[in-house]
Amino acid sequence: MMIRHWLKHAVVALCGGDSPKRDAEILLGFVTGKSRSWLVAFDDHELDATQLAELDALLARRLKGEPIAHLVGEREFWSLPLRVNDATLIPRPDTEVLVEQALLRIPATPSSLLDLGTGTGAIALALASERPDCQVLGCDRIPAAVALAEENAQRLHISNARFQLSHWFNDIPAQRFDVIVSNPPYIDAADEHLQQGDVRFEPLSALVADEAGLADLRLIIHRAPQWLQPGGWLLLEHGWQQDEAVRAIMTQHGYQHVSSINDYGGNPRVTLGQFF
């Protein structure tokens, strides 16, 4: 079967998804080892029996809802190819807004940064890649997540990011950071979206929080001042309907210059504040 014929077949099969053609192209690139441009230029290339069997197996898994990132073991974030697995959240494009806002607030001089609940290490590694003069610490309470973040750092040759096991601040050695960032669990356990799409295959521990999704956000806001340098910034990703609540919690705890930033879809996604 030619590439173009398998692609057409796969797009029809995946037509109920968000991006059927892109999903099919990613699977083709993964199995053939070819770039997207090569696949377009040589779409009359014949796939061999082994490739077809692997493609059909991957397509069947995708049709059951398994995320593309899990099928190929990788997701790009901030132009960094990151290994992913089912122990962590799959990095989302909207989380790049958190990285953008953090970069705007890191001092011009060498600084110390903390990423809480680092998962794949996506946020920490993005910041470290942009600011090689800074030291970035990423923490997670899941050993498999810490191991994955360390693997990503090694693969990407990013030496100014390190990772350790810690449930939020609990096991971090006493120190102060110029900027603290986090994309913590913020979904209400009763949210119907947990039974839909890719999130069905992601760990609930990385998605769900008590108090209608606000428990971990509240904890981080409460404890961060003990770990921030005077004038340091805390930046948090949250649900698109939680901005007002997060701003209120930050203000109650004495943060200044509190504001919320929209994601690429125009929804409030990141709230930040400065503590003196």
Residue 109 marked in a binding site: no
Residue 183 marked in a binding site: yes
CA 225 – CA 254 distance, rounded (Å): 9
CB 148 within 8 A of CB 163: no
CA 218 – CA 249 distance, rounded (Å): 7
The secondary structure of 226-241 as a DSSP string is GTEEEEEEEEEE--TT
Residue 121 marked in a binding site: yes
CB 259 within 8 A of CB 104: no
Name the nearest CA neighbour of 102 among 136, 61, 60: 136
Residue 38: CB partners within 8 Å, gap ≥ 6? none
Residue 143 marked in a binding site: no
Place of tokens 């494009």: 93
CA 274 – CA 234 distance, rounded (Å): 6
Residue 186 marked in a binding site: yes
Give just the sign of the alpha carbon dihedral 139, 141, 142, 144: positive
Residue 184 marked in a binding site: yes
State the distance between the two ends of the chain, measured CA to CA, in whole angstroms. 65
CA 203 – CA 221 distance, rounded (Å): 23
CB 274 within 8 A of CB 235: no
CA 146 – CA 121 distance, rounded (Å): 8
Residue 168 marked in a binding site: yes
Residue 58: CB partners within 8 Å, gap ≥ 6? 27, 30, 31, 71
Annotated binding residues: 117-121, 140, 168, 183-186
Annotated binding residues for S-adenosyl-L-methionine: 117-121, 140, 168, 183
Annotated binding residues for substrate: 183-186
